[in-house]
């Protein structure tokens, strides 16, 4: 189904079961795909034009050097300015292929065909493309919106449970931003992702990105869970998946909000999330190891970071806070995950 998005929105959005060739570009195109989904693509009988490449994708390989062979291959064909890149894969692949499309000939069109839950509900839409640098995640990139997003839920059938769980936390973030705690409960208690969840998250994100494409205002709310989340992800040496780190960061943000004088979230919800995240307890770095990453946060300015503080019954707030504001929530996070972990070991 084609989703209703704000009129004039840069990206056409489709949520389907099976991939469909009708949604591929009409003019010249090349594919960059994640090897993990090559079999899906071939089973669906979809074309692979000259210059297409399938690559093994990891967060550690989300570097500018990975893009260069793609760009060289496109130039050898050659692809001209009217060509389109079709990116098929998770968020790492779509972020990199989108950036490569932004760079090639100073910007050619691209389509995003996300294949993980996280990329279907978040990374594949919104035009943020990026690679990582030694100093941190997504530090080099461009705003370059895809012309079309095609989310085919059939891809999710082979996605490992840990990756489904990772995507679930970006959905949970959306439920919190929407103040829909009933949806948050459903997200926590329903094993298989529902297409309606993907549609809802994409409709929400397209609205925000349409109003604030360059993240000067409202779009910053989508960073809920990401301030401490990015620090945790980097400090874990990418042992934590992006969505796992966002889940931990979301819980920490809910623990920070009352320290900043905001209404606390229901204790049952905090407890359910802590239990769900407890298996990750050993990967939550010590405060001393997180602080250097927070100090480098790209949302930092003049000694403070624009932090998103969630509220259970109203819009989340953006407040500039010193990195040290995360010290106590980190301690509380480690404490409540540790308590859940020892309870489950005893049981």
Ligand X SMILES: NC(=O)c1ccc[n+]([C@@H]2O[C@H](COP(=O)([O-])OP(=O)(O)OC[C@H]3O[C@@H](n4cnc5c(N)ncnc54)[C@H](O)[C@@H]3O)[C@@H](O)[C@H]2O)c1
Task: Give the footprint of ligand X on this chain (CB under 6 A).
Answer: 34, 36-37, 57, 59, 62, 89-93, 95, 115-116, 118-119, 122-123, 126, 128, 137-138, 155, 158-159, 163, 166, 242-243
* One-letter-per-residue 3-state SS of the chain: CECCCCCCCCCEEEEECCCCHHHCCCCCEEEEEEHHHHHHHHHCCCCCCCCCEEECCCHHHCCHHHHHHHHHHHHHCCCCCCCEEEEEECHHHHHHHHHHHHHHHHCCEEEEEECCHHHHHHHCCCCEEEEEECCEEEEEEEECCCCEEEEEHHHHHHCCHHHHHHHHHHHHHHHHHCCCHHHHHHHHHCCCCCHHHHHHHHHHHHHHHHHCCCCCCHHHHHHCCHHHHHHHHHHCCCCCCHHHHHHHHHHHHHHHHHHCCCCCCCHHHHHHHHHHHHHHHHHCCCHHHHHHHHHCCCCEECCEEEEEECCCCCCCEEEEECHHHHHHHHHHHHHHHHHHHHHHHHC
Compare residues 109 and 242 and give the one whose CB is closer to ligand X. Answer: 242
Burial of 297 (0-12, 13-18, 19+ CB in 10 A): buried
- What span, in angstroms and rounded, lies between the C-alpha atoms of 258 and 265? 9
Compare residues 37 and 307 and give the one whose CB is closer to ligand X. Answer: 37
CB of 127 to ligand X, least distance (A): 8
Q: Which residues contact 152 (CB under 8 A, 6 or more apart)?
A: 16, 17, 18, 19, 20, 113, 115
CB of 257 to ligand X, least distance (A): 22
CB of 173 to ligand X, least distance (A): 10
Compare residues 25 and 127 and give the one whose CB is closer to ligand X. Answer: 127
Compare residues 143 and 287 and give the one whose CB is closer to ligand X. Answer: 143
Compare residues 148 and 242 and give the one whose CB is closer to ligand X. Answer: 242
Q: Is residue 112 within 8 Å of residue 149, measured between CB atoms?
A: yes
CB of 81 to ligand X, least distance (A): 24
User: Annotated active-site positions, please?
Assistant: 106, 128, 170, 205, 215, 219, 223, 226, 230, 242
**Residue indicated by tokens 């301030």:** 227
CB of 62 to ligand X, least distance (A): 6
Compare residues 37 and 85 and give the one whose CB is closer to ligand X. Answer: 37
Compare residues 91 and 341 and give the one whose CB is closer to ligand X. Answer: 91
CB of 222 to ligand X, least distance (A): 8
CB of 337 to ligand X, least distance (A): 21
């Amino acid at each position: 189904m084609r989703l209703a998005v704000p009129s004039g929105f840069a990206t056409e959005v489709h949520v389907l079961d099976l991939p469909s060739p009708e949604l591929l570009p009409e003019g010249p195109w090349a594919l960059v795909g994640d090897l993990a989904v090559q079999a899906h693509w071939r089973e669906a009988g979809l074309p692979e034009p000259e210059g297409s490449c399938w690559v093994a994708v990891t967060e550690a390989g989300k570097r500018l050097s990975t893009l260069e062979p793609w760009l060289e291959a496109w130039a050898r064909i050659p692809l001209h300015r009217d060509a389109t890149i079709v990116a098929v894969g998770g968020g790492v692949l779509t972020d990199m292929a989108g950036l490569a499309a932004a760079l090639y000939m100073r910007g050619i069109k691209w389509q995003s065909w996300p294949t993980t839950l996280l990329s279907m509900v978040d990374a594949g839409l919104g035009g943020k493309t990026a690679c990582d640098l030694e100093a941190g995640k997504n530090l080099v990139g461009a705003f370059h919106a895809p012309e079309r997003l095609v989310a085919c839920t059939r891809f999710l059938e082979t996605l490992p449970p840990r990756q489904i769980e990772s995507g679930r936390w970006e959905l949970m973030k959306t439920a919190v931003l929407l103040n829909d705690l009933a949806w948050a409960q459903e997200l926590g208690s329903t094993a298989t992702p529902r297409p309606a969840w993907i549609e809802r998250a994409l409709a929400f994100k397209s609205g925000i990105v349409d109003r604030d494409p360059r993240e000067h205002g409202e779009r910053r709310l989508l960073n809920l869970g990401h301030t401490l989340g990015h620090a945790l992800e980097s400090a874990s040496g990418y042992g934590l998946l992006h969505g796992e780190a966002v889940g931990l960061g979301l819980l920490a943000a809910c623990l920070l909000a009352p320290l900043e004088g905001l209404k606390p979230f229901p204790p049952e919800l905090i407890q359910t999330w802590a239990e769900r995240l407890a298996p990750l307890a050993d990967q939550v770095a010590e405060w001393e190891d997180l602080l250097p990453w927070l100090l480098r946060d790209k949302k930092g300015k003049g000694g403070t970071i624009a932090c998103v503080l969630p509220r259970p019954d109203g819009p989340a707030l953006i407040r500039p806070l010193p990195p040290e504001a995360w010290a106590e929530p980190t301690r509380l996070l480690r404490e409540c995950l540790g308590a859940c972990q020892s309870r489950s070991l005893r049981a």
